[in-house]
Structure 1
Amino acid sequence: MSKLHLISLGCNKNLVDSEIMLGRLRNFELTNEISDADVIIVNTCGFIASAKEESVRTILEMAEAKKQGATLVVTGCLMQRYREELMRELPEVDLFTGVGDYDKIDEIILKKQNLFSPDVYLQSNEERIITGSNYHAYIKIAEGCNQKCSFCAIPTFKGKLKSRSLENIIDEVKRLVQKGYYDFSFLSQDSSSWMRDNGVSDGLISLIDEVEKINGVKSARILYLYPSTTTMALIDRIVASPVFHNYFDMPIQHISDKMLRVMKRGSNEAKVREILSAMRSTPNSFLRTGVIVGHPGESDEDFDSLCKFLEEFKFDRISAFAYSREEDTAAFDMEQIPTKIISKRLSKIEKVIKKTLDDSFRLQIGREIIASIEGESSEGEMFFGGKMDVWDKDIDGEILINESDERELEVGARYLCEVTDSVDNKLIARVIKRA
C-alpha cells in the first residue's frame, strides 16, 4: 500500500477540503514520516502575507525532505491565487491544482496531470475522513463570498457565494452521527448569508430546524457570522435551540464608524453594538470576535476607540490581526500605515485581549460544565485534555482533568465536570459523572 502525508494549512474550511481528499485517497496508508511518503500533499492558505509565507516555506520543506521518486502535490487557495507564478517558481513540485478539484485528487495523482477546473469545488455527497477527533466534525455549508470588504481578496479566487443544499448538509450530518459523531461546527466564509444566493434570507433558521430533528446530535455551533447579515430572528432561534449553543462567532474587524465605512463592512457602530448586545444578553452566551489593526485610514483615535470598546464589552475570545496589504483589494492602493505603528498598536491591543481572556476563564471557576474528553492533554499524560461543550474545537481553550469520580474516562465521551481553577488560559476541572 502506498503511503500518504498530507498537510492542511490555514482555516478549518481548508481542513474540510483536506478531509475530502483523504476520503478520495482512502486506499493510501497515512504516515507522519515525510521521508516514508510516496505522495505528499500540501493544502495551502493564501489569505494574508504570513499565511502565504508559511505555505511557501512548507512546500520547500516538503520538497527537501521527500524521498526520491515521491510525488509532491500542491493545492488550495495559494495555488489558486498565484497559479502562474507558483508553477513557474516551484520546479520542485510535481503536481499543481487549485480549489476546484478536491474530489478529483485521486485522478490527478493517477494520471500525473495538473488540473484547474474553472469553478470552485462545492462539497456534495463525497465521503471524507474526519481528522483529529472521534466525536467532533466541521460541516462546510457554502463556498465563496458576496461581501466586498476592502482588505479581503477571498472573493477574487473563491468567487461569489454558492450555498450547499440543506438536504445535502443534513445527509452528511446524519452519516456522521451514524459513525459516532455528536458535536458539529457549521462554517463558511459568511455563514449568515447561507442560501441568500437562492433568494432566502435567514436560511440558517431552517438549518437549525432540521439539525435539531437528527437524533444523536448533542452539541452544535455556527461559525463566521457577518454583522450585516445576522438578524435578531436568527439570534432568537439559536437561543431557543436545545442543540445549538449560544455561541456567537462574529468578526467585527473594527468599531469606529469611519473605519467600518473604509473597510466596506456594510454596518455602522450602532448596528454592531446592537447585535453584540443582543448576543451577550442571552443565557450562557459565548462571544468570539476578530479585529484588524492598522488598516489604511486608521487614526490613533480610531484605534483607541477600538481598544476601549474591547475593554468594555468583555468578549470571551478575541483574535487580533495586523493588517496585511493584499493585491486585488480596495485597500491595496490606499495610503498605508507604517509597519512600526501597526506593530506598536498590535502590542497594545494584545494586552487588552490577554485581560479579556483571563477574565473569561476566571468566570468559569466553581461552575459545573459539560466537557468532552480529547485524550492526553497538552501538559502531558498527567492530565486528560477536555473541551467544554460550548467551545469550538481547538481554538477556544483546553480543560485539564486530573481528578475523577469515574473509574475510567473514555476519549470522545461527555462528562459533567466541576471547574476548580484557571491557570495560563487553561481550566482545571474534575469529572463528577458521565453526561
Structure 2
Amino acid sequence: MKLFLQSLGCNKNLVDSEIMLGSLSEYELCDEVSEADVLIVNTCGFIKSAKVESINAILNLHEQRKKDSLLVVTGCLMQRYKDELVKELPEVDLFAGVSEYEKIDELIAKKQNKFSDNVYLQNANSKRVITGSLSHAYIKIAEGCNQSCSFCAIPSFKGKLKSRDISDIAKEVKMLTDKGYYDFSFIAQDTSSYLKDKNISDGLEKLIDEIEKIKGVKAARILYLYPSSLKKSLIEKIKNSKVFVNYFDMPLQHASNKILKSMKRGYDIKKAKEFLDLMKSDDSFLRTGFIVGYPEESEEDFNELCEFIKNEPFDRISVFAYSKEEDTAAYNLEQIKASIINKRLRIIEKIVNDKINQSFKKLEGKTILASCTGQSSEGEFFIGAKPLLFDRDIDGEILINESDFTLKAGDLFYCEITQVKGQNIIAKALKLAD
C-alpha cells in the first residue's frame, strides 16, 4: 500500500504530519499522487490564503488520484469548519480533526470520520518519522493557546494551552540525538507561555537547563516568543547558553500602540523595544512578523510601522495582509479597503526586502558553522547548507561551490562566506567540525 501526504501551513503542522507518518509506517511513501492508495492532506485554517490553498490542494489531489484510493483530510481547517466541509466536500472519503493524528491508522482501517474537542499532545513515545533533514528536528513543547489576540481564531479550534512535561521533551530529544540529530527548534503556538498552565512561570528556562544536559545537542533555538508572556530573564538565559543559539523569533504584529491595543496583544511598543535592545548582540539573529491593513490602521499607524522596521536590526521579517476571520474580536471592526492594503503591502515589502538584504550582506567574509543539507535548491552545481544559527528552511541557504573534501547531508562543518548576492550566500567549505 502506497501513501501520499501533503502537509500545509506551519512547522507545527509538519510535526503533526510526521506523527501521522509514524502511525502509518507500514505504508510505502510515494511522490506520485496517481500511484497512492491513501492520500492525506493536513490542512491549515489560519487565514484566508491558507484556507484557499488547503481547499485547492484537496480538489487537485482528487482530480489526480486513482480509482478506489482513499482521500483523507485532517488538520486545522477541518477542525475549524468540520460541519460545513463534511457537507461541501463529497470528493473526500474520510475527515479527521486535530486530535486524531496518532490514531489515523485506525480511522483509515475503519474508514471512520472523527473529531474531538480534546487538545492533542504528543509524547516521547509517539511514533514519528522526521522528514526533510538528517540533522534537524522540530520539537513541539505545547499545544493550544491562552492568548486572546483580536485577529486570531486559533484558540477557538486548537483549545487552551497544554504543555508537555520537561522530562518527556528531554526524552524525545535524547532519542533523536541517539539517531544522529543534533539541531533542534522548539515550537508551540506561544512558546513563552510554556508550563504556565501548570503554574510554572519560568518553564522555558527550566527546559533550557534540561536540554543543555543532553550530550549530542549541538544547537537549539526557540520559536514564537510572544512579548506579552516573555521574560527578560529568558533572553539572558538564551544569550548565556552554550547550546541555545542567539536566535530570537518574536512576532510583534505592529508598531503602533493604538493598533497593538486593538489587537489585544498585551504590550506596548516600549516594552517590545526593551526586549529587542536586550536581544541585540553581534551574534544575535532577530526574526519577527507584522500585519498590514488591520482594521482602523491609519496612514500614521502604517508610517509608524515602516519607521520602526527601518530602525530596528531585524534579520528576517514576515509581512501578512490582514485577514478578516470569523470568531475573532476584530471581525466586526471597520475594515480597510483591499486596494489600500495592497498599496501598503507594496511599500512595506520594499522596506523589508532592503532590510533582509542588509542582514545577508553582513555575512560576507565570515567563517561560520553550518549543517550540510545535501543538494542545493539551485541544483547539482552547488551543495546546500544551513548556518547553525538559522532555523531550517525559512532563513536562507548557503550554496557551497568549493570544497576540498566530500560533504554529505547531516555533516557539520566550517565554511567561509565568499560572496553574497542579494539573498544568495556563496561559500567555501573549510573543514568538518569535531
Report TM bin, short chain. Answer: over 0.9
The match for 1:429 is: 427
Partner SS state of residue 69, structure 1:
coil
The match for 2:79 is: 80
Query: Which whole-Å CA distance do the structure 2 matches of 1:118 and 1:353 have between them?
Result: 39
The match for 1:254 is: 254
Instruction: Give CA-to-partner distance per residue, 1:253-295, whole Å, 9 cap, x none.
Output: 0111111101100001110110111111x34000000000000
Alignment of 1:15-30 (within 5 A): 15-30=14-29
Partner SS state of residue 79, structure 1:
helix
Instruction: Give CA-to-partner distance per residue, 1:97-146, whole Å, 9 cap, x none.
Output: 00011010000000111111221211122020000001100000000101
Output the TM-score relative to the length of structure 2: 0.99
Q: Does residue 416 of structure 2 align to residue 392 of structure 1?
A: no
1:314, distance to aligned residue in structure 2 (A):
2.2
How large is the Cα RMSD of the aligned pairs? Answer: 0.7
Identical counterparts, % of pairs: 61
Query: Which whole-Å CA distance do the structure 2 matches of 1:118 and 1:380 have between them?
Result: 44
Query: Which whole-Å CA distance do the structure 2 matches of 1:373 and 1:319 have between them?
Result: 25
Alignment of 1:212-251 (within 5 A): 212-251=212-251
Contact 1:35 1:65 in 2 (8 A): yes
Query: Which whole-Å CA distance do the structure 2 matches of 1:128 and 1:137 have between them?
Result: 11
The match for 2:339 is: 340
Q: Does residue 295 of structure 2 align to residue 263 of structure 1?
A: no
Alignment of 1:5-24 (within 5 A): 5-24=4-23
Query: Which whole-Å CA distance do the structure 1 matches of 2:390 and 2:269 have between them?
Result: 27
Output the TM-score relative to the length of structure 1: 0.99
The match for 2:182 is: 182
The match for 2:115 is: 116
Contact 2:15 2:140 in 1 (8 A): yes
Contact 1:44 1:55 in 2 (8 A): yes
Contact 2:7 2:41 in 1 (8 A): yes
1:423, distance to aligned residue in structure 2 (A):
1.6
The match for 2:294 is: 295
Query: Which whole-Å CA distance do the structure 2 matches of 1:82 and 1:115 have between them?
Result: 13
Question: Which AA in structure 2 matches 1:151?
Answer: F
Query: Which whole-Å CA distance do the structure 2 matches of 1:404 and 1:103 have between them?
Result: 43
Question: Which AA in structure 1 matches 2:18?
Answer: E
Contact 1:262 1:297 in 2 (8 A): no
Query: Which whole-Å CA distance do the structure 1 matches of 2:252 and 2:424 have between them?
Result: 26
Query: Which whole-Å CA distance do the structure 1 matches of 2:202 and 2:290 have between them?
Result: 25
1:225, distance to aligned residue in structure 2 (A):
0.2
Contact 2:289 2:318 in 1 (8 A): yes
Alignment of 1:6-405 (within 5 A): 6-124=5-123, 125-280=125-280, 282-405=281-404
Partner SS state of residue 215, structure 1:
coil
Query: Which whole-Å CA distance do the structure 2 matches of 1:111 and 1:344 have between them?
Result: 51
Contact 1:373 1:411 in 2 (8 A): yes
1:210, distance to aligned residue in structure 2 (A):
0.4
Contact 2:119 2:162 in 1 (8 A): no
Query: Which whole-Å CA distance do the structure 2 matches of 1:51 and 1:173 have between them?
Result: 30
Query: Which whole-Å CA distance do the structure 2 matches of 1:84 and 1:202 have between them?
Result: 39
Partner SS state of residue 239, structure 2:
helix
Query: Which whole-Å CA distance do the structure 2 matches of 1:217 and 1:319 have between them?
Result: 28
Q: Which runs of 4+ in 1 moved over 6 A?
A: none
5+ long unaligned stretches in structure 1: none
